[in-house]
Amino acid sequence: MSEEYIAEVIESSTTEFVAQTRKLHGSPPFGAFVKAGTSPASLAMIYNISTGSADLNRRPIAYGKTEDELRKEQPQIFELLRTEIRAKIVGYADDHGVQQLLPSQPPRLHSFVFICTPEEVQAFTRQFDYFRTLLGVGGTLSDELLIAAIQQTCGCQPESSHRCLIRAGKELSRLLRDDYDRLESILRRMRP
């Protein structure tokens, strides 16, 4: 395999998936574009990262020690922890290119999850149709995810960041024309 996977799908639906990372605390950042599965590969954005016990009936407890101290004194503790990511599916890639639509099938369980390359993000984010999907996430989380998407989109497009931000702002104003306060809050926090 030419690229190393970062996680493995452990729950899957047509709109999102949950994946356990290969390494504890080994998740890409909030809002990162990732892909899972094959033919078609689901393209998604990470919207939640959590670390906890691998055993659902046991919670980690506080020891009053630093992580380094715990790793030296009780390294077995870290074998009982896992990091999971939740990702919202915003499109898919197949032999015909990328689509800003939900795939016909969710990624299969135990599919590997990879970070999208800058070229893949650039190809996917040329249009802003996926903004509507992100707006459907609900609450302030969708606003934060939109801001992360815009920052990544404008960071990888060949046009200037300023011009990309203007295009994104126009699309948001069209989608949020009935919610001025929300639109203003998002626009105020966007930056290249």
What does the pLDDT read at residue 154?
86
Alpha-carbon distance 156 to 179, whole Å? 29
- Give strand ranges (E) for the chain: 7-12, 16-21, 33-36, 41-53, 81-94, 97-99, 112-115
SS (H, E, C) 112-153: EEEECCHHHHHHHCCCCCHHHHHHCCCHHHHHHHHHHHHHHH
Nearest Cα residue to 43 out of 76, 77, 66, 17: 17
Please write the tens of the pLDDT for every residue from 4-34. 999 999 999 999 999 999 999 999 999 999 9
What does the pLDDT read at residue 161?
83
DSSP 58: -
What residue ranges of the chain have pLDDT lower than 50? Answer: 1-2
Q: 3-state class of 51 per DSSP? A: strand
Tokens of 134: 């992100």
Residue pointed to by tokens 């590997």: 112
Whole-structure pTM value: 0.89
What does the pLDDT read at residue 77?
87
Chain centroid to Cα 161, Å, comes to: 21
Tokens of 13: 């639906």
Q: Which helix (H) or strand (E) segment is 73 a member of?
A: helix 67-73
What does the pLDDT read at residue 116?
94
Question: What does the domain layout of the chain look like in residue ranges?
Answer: 1-117, 125-192
- Other CB atoms within a 10 A radius of the CB of residue 144 amount to 17
Could you give the angle at which helices 180-189 and 139-156 cross, rounded to 10 degrees?
40
CB under 8 Å, gap of 24 or more: what pairs does 135-140 form?
Answer: 135/175, 135/176, 137/47, 137/88
What does the pLDDT read at residue 1?
42
